[in-house]
A and B are shown apart, each in its own frame.
Chain A
């Protein structure tokens, strides 16, 4: 039982390049989330998926797109990376609705030059 896995662990991009961050969970959770974490700040929600087939914007969605490929997988795409997107990205999934305890992946460190 791997929990939440993310790939890659670390990535360096040049401004304007694109990339997709992958996330998968094996806990049969309905809801999945993408956050970014910047120094001195908590986690900010980028996008979330309440259930398979649905996605919604969070607090900071600009510059990102997501795909809920199936119940297990939720990917985050940067179409044209900018230095402001340098951050650590975390994927999470959650238990049934009434608790919303979230389980996090190990994170992807992204550096945009």
Chain B
């Protein structure tokens, strides 16, 4: 069963704006990862945050993790048309090494 749930399901923003999406999960985790999927392509790993970390940055991406609320957020700053994609969170539970993916947030960046 899917561990993570993303919110919102879809997001439409203007180029240059920030995009924020959230992920909630149910069980304790070892780490949480975010992936991007462009239309018709495979998933690409963006960033990993461990359970003992609260915030992580990679370029225009900022990820936060709140283990007490079992939630994470992904912020994309200064969005570009190329950021148009679906974004998935994936959790690795404490007691397993397999990842569990959410249903994703579809982001559309308008020019």
Which A residues are closer than 8 A to B by beta carbons? 4, 31, 33, 35, 40-45, 48, 50, 58-59, 90, 92, 97, 99-107
Contact = CB atoms under 8 A, between A and B. Distances in A.
A102 B97 contact: no
B1 interface: yes
A110 to B, nearest CB: 14
Nearest to A105: B42
B99 interface: yes
Given A92-B42, A104-B35, 20 more contacts: A31-B97, A35-B101, A40-B103, A41-B103, A42-B88, A42-B101, A42-B102, A43-B43, A44-B101, A90-B42, A90-B43, A92-B43, A100-B31, A100-B33, A100-B98, A102-B45, A102-B90, A104-B42, A107-B40, A107-B41
Given A40-B103, A42-B104, A103 B45 contact: yes
8 closest A-B pairs by beta carbon, nearest first, are A104-B42, A42-B101, A43-B101, A104-B43, A42-B103, A42-B102, A106-B42, A101-B45
13 contacts: A4-B42, A31-B97, A35-B101, A42-B102, A43-B88, A44-B101, A90-B42, A90-B43, A100-B99, A101-B33, A104-B42, A104-B43, A105-B42
Quick one: which of B2, B42, B99 has the most chain A CB within 10 A? B42
B99 A102 contact: yes
B98 A99 contact: no
A107 B41 CA distance: 7
A10 B41 CA distance: 13
A101 B99 CA distance: 9
A101 B30 CA distance: 12
Interface string B75-106: 00000000000001010100001110111100
Interface in B1-27: 1-2, 4
Contacts of A99: 31, 48
